[in-house]
Each structure stands twice: as C-alpha cells, then as structure tokens.
Amino acid sequence: MGSPVGNALASTASSNRACVPDFDAVYETHVDFVWRTVRRMGVRAADTDDVVQEVFFIVYRRLAEFEGRAQLKTWVFKILVHVVRHYWRTHQRKPGDRAAEDPPAIQDLVADHEHGPAAMYERVEALRVLDGLLAHLDEDKREVFVLAEIEQMTAAEIAEIIEANANTVGSRLRAARQEFEKALLRFRAHELRRQP
Amino acid sequence: MNDLGPEARSLLEAARGAETPTRVDRERIKHAVALRVATVGAASMAASGAVAMTVATKVTVAALTVAVLGGGSASLWAWKAHTAAPPAALHRAASRHSASRTPPALPTRPVAEAPAVMEEPRPKPLLPEVRRREVVRGEARPGGTVSLPVAESAPSPALDSLDPELTVLRQAQEDLRAGLPAQALRRLAEYDRRFGKGTLNEERRAIGAIALCQAHPGPAAQAQAERFLRSAPQSPLAGRVRSACQKPDETAKQSNEIAPGREP
C-alpha cells in the first residue's frame, strides 16, 4: 500500500533510525492523498487549505521523532485523522451537515484535464454524490470507510491509525458499507422521483 | 466483510485520483506551513537540520521569521535593505541563527550511514514537549502536555495554538510603530504574565529591548539590548535591536562616516 516513494522513505527510515526523512519529499509524496482524504472526511472546501496545512505543520514538527516503526504514510495519516477530529470538534458543522452542497471545484480535478470537459463534469457529479452519501455516516464510520474504500488501506493499518483493534475496524467498516449502500439506494430513488 | 455493489464501487473509483491539489495549491500550502514554522521560531530546527528541508525552504522560513514579527512583507524588505545582504546571505544568516538556539548538550543521533536526505547531525528538537508545556502555562488545556512520541500520541490542540502569543507581540509591534513604547512595554508585561518564557520568548526579548530603548534610553536599556545580542547574536531581529539601541556616540560616528559620501 502507499506510493513507491513513500514506501521507500519509510523503509529507509526503518533500516536506519538515524535517517530523518526529508520534509520536502514527505510533503510532495503525501500532499495529494492528504488533500483528497481531508475533503472526503467532510472538511469544507473553504477549510481544506487550513486543515492540510495543519497536518503538514505537525508533520514538520514531529518528523525528527519519526523512527520508522510505522510506514511513513500511516504515520502521516494518523496525524491527519487527529487533525480532522479536532476540526470536527471545533466546527459546529459535523460531517453529516455537509451533504452535497460543497462540490469540488473543476480546477481541482486535475486527473481529468486530459479527458475533456465531459469527463471532468462526470467526476464532479460523482464526487458530489459520493460526498452526499458519506455525509450520512457518522465520524467513526466515515473515517474507516474513507481509509478502506478510497485509500484502500488494510484493516491492520486502519487499526493503527485510529488506535482501535482490528475487530472494531471490521465492524465499523461493515456497518459503514451497509449505511452507504442504503444511502445510495435512497439517493437513486429520490433521483427517479425527480425525473418527469 | 460485506462487499459494496457495482455502483458504489464506481463512485469510489471516481474519487480515487480525483480532486488533487494543483501545483499552485501545493505551493500555497507549503508556503503557509513555512510561515507557521517561522512564527514558532523553528527556523533553527530547519536550518540546523532538525528536519531536513531544501535550501529554498530554509530561506523562506528564515525570511518569514522576520516578516511575521515585522508585520509583513514591507518590513521584510526593509530588513533586507538594512542588512544589505545578498539573497545567499539569508541562508547563511539562518544557519548562524540556528546556533544561538540549538541546545548544546543534547545528544545527536548516529549518522554513520548518512543518506542523501541527511545534511548534518540532528539534535532532538525541544519544541514538541518542552515548549508546549511553556505555552500552556497557567492555562488548563487537557492533553497539552502529552509527551509520548507521535506514533503513540495524539496531536494536541495546544500544539498549534500560538495565536495568543503572536497577537500580543504584534500588538506590541504596532504600539512601537505608533510611537507608544510605554504601551508596548505594558503589552510585554502582559505577555510575561500569560506565557512566561513562551515559545516566542526570543522575539519578545527583542521587542522588549527595542521598546525600552525608545521609552527610556540609557544604561538600563543598553544593558538589556546587549544581553539580548549576547544570547542571540544571529537572531534575524538583532539588526533591529542594534539599530534601535545605538549609543549616541555611535550614531554620531556613523553620521560622520556617511557624511563625506553625501552629495553637497
């Protein structure tokens, strides 16, 4: 799991505790998934910069302490989860309040620039629907669901990140999947009723 | 575990790789991180290699340290003009500055097989535990003194809450600009009362020396400025302290040196 560069950094760190990973490399390697995950975790578009910045500020300050016991990506994710939880606590709007009113900006969908505007709009719509469905999950389930289904992390990795045991991760993921599917069914039914 | 249906899978697939930050976004956020690093006085960490960064990032951090306390880009340029330093000198200044802050007795990690990402031996930074305790002094902030390594501990809200310190120092700076050094000293007394030797203590001492030199010029002010310059000779704020606390005879001497070059 994780990008080759991130894994290389992590393995370098584990093979040589004296090695403190280079901040710039850590930033460049992880900023995309931190950004993406922050958005899927329910942080508003207007707050994304601040939250991503907070994650990397803590990464910067703690990087010298990274001893390679975990993968670098897992370590960064752990910080991310704590920052997002803090965001939820300090903002009146919870993930469930976000619904689908905060769609991604077109210019953020860089992955589809080469496929033309139609593909970009399809992605925008898909993300809008996805965020609307994720908004139905509570914080605990949403965390696990995003890490497992979007970032494709293993149960063991997620357990380490959220500081829970693997059984808890498994039960939350099962419940999250069921709720997600139900929300999708409701969404489609609603869409059908709206059609003339 | 229950699998998701094809439509759900399709939606999730669309989310992977989509909505990534643009190059401009990446640069903007990185710049913001450097700014925050500067506000906590961690330029020394970067310059001394506590965390490896590129030279460009170190320069940004060093420059921003001055810019933040100086109130923005205008004062940054004023500082650069004052020191008449070429851009490369900024990095040297940052490296020298680090020497004044790096605790001398801390053990360093072994560097026998130093890979490319390492630039020099790295002392363990003080910021995560020691400075955080200083920040929360006198304020009940649950979790603010967690000292476990990050792998086992949660980032605390206190870690990122330097705004109160920065606010007081900025107010003191504004008082100085408004010609109210006595008011600035009262603000600094408030800083001492609330934060003690806070994270921005070096910056507080620099502003204090300048304020005292403006409010009560004389031997006591000179002594305070000299104490600051002795303890932090390479601080980015040292130039300002020297400038504000110049002895009258030195000022006159400088005027005489400058005068011959002036146009009649």
**pLDDT tens-digit series, residues B100-114:** 333 333 223 332 332
Q: Report which of B212, B202, B195 is spatially closest to residue B237, judged by C-alpha positions.
A: B202
Q: Report which of B55, B73, B151, B237 is spatially closest to residue A64, judged by C-alpha positions.
A: B151
pLDDT confidence tier of residue B26, bands split at 50, 70 and 90 = confident
- pLDDT one-digit tens code per residue, B206-231: 888 888 888 888 888 888 888 888 88
Residue B241 in contact with residue B207, Cβ under 8 Å?
A: no
- pLDDT at residue A57 is higher than 80: yes
- pLDDT one-digit tens code per residue, A156-193: 999 999 989 999 999 999 999 999 998 888 888 877 77
Smallest CA–CA distance, residue A174 to chain B, in Å, is 6
Residue B223 in contact with residue B209, Cβ under 8 Å?
A: no
Smallest CA–CA distance, residue B49 to chain A, in Å, is 9
- pLDDT at residue A109 is higher than 80: no
Q: Do B11 and A129 touch (CB under 8 A)?
A: yes
- pLDDT one-digit tens code per residue, A112-162: 445 555 666 667 777 888 888 998 899 899 999 999 998 889 999 999 999
Q: Report which of A150, A134, A131 is spatially closest to residue A142, judged by C-alpha positions.
A: A134
CA distance B66 to B38: 8
Smallest CA–CA distance, residue A155 to chain B, in Å, is 11
| Residue scoring higher pLDDT (A184 or B76) | A184
Interface of B with A in 127-146 (CB under 8 A): 127-128
Measured between beta carbons, the chain B residues lying within 8 angstroms of A35 are: 19-21, 25
